[in-house]
A and B are shown apart, each in its own frame.
Chain A
Amino acid sequence: MNLRTASETLSFIRELEEKAAKLYEDLAKRFPANENDFLAFAKENRKYNKQIQMAYQSVISDAIEGCYAFDLESDHYTFETDLPDSAGLANAATKALAIEEKIMGCYTLGAEQSGSLLADVPRNFKMVLKKRVKRLERLKALA
């Protein structure tokens, strides 16, 4: 599906973040030794959702291009979170890395497309991207 409006794009991103958060909560149960890492990731995802929503609701106005800010193909960024019961920590971390890359890809292109149009929204996308770098390093270490 082609995403164009700020409302549908942010709803889509919220779904991605929440889906990934649920995966991390599941991983926390499956890998108790790394529970703290995974629960922290899930918490961060939900914080990002709040941060982006706050940025959107604070800046959205009739003067900016809310209905014409994006041109994203949602199919490029959707992911499955299924993981076989037999999967070990390395497999789980590899899966999480792939998911993180998809989410970051969505933020990256979204920030680029809406850069001069939605003011604080793309700026917050970039902030989320920057904060995620540490997570990638941690997941790589686990993979």
Chain B
Amino acid sequence: MHSDPQIPDWMERIHSGKATPGEVDRLRRHPGVDPSQLEEELRLNRLLETLPPVSVPSNLASRVLDAIHLEAQQTRRRHRRDGWLSWIAWRPAWASVAVACLALVGWRIQSTHRTTLARSVLIVSEATAVPGMEALVDFEAIQWLESRPEPGDLELMAALSSP
């Protein structure tokens, strides 16, 4: 039926209701078109054209803009509320982080303190051994001698060394 490459285009124009009377006439005369089928298509178009045009409310644009304004207002309010809510919602998290930081710092201080103490113990343990108890037998006499004024010692030394 569609041997002429133009026929599908004309049929499409008929389907969309845009075919001109001239195009319809050409199709009617065209040997490749089934006249009964064409008439049926045209009658269906006429039926579809009887549908009343839709009635659009005159204030549709205003209604849309009002709805948009209202929605924008609600969105702003929601954002403000969400801002506070998110702050409140985040507070426990922030508190947990702060506690964790404090615990870390505390542990670090304690750890440093322990290290210092351990080092001190090591130094003490490595120091020269303390003399035994026998070395302290004449401790008081030595102390006493040390407390004596130096000139006396010198006099004694001089007396001992004189012939």
**Is this pair of chains taken from one and the same complex?**
no
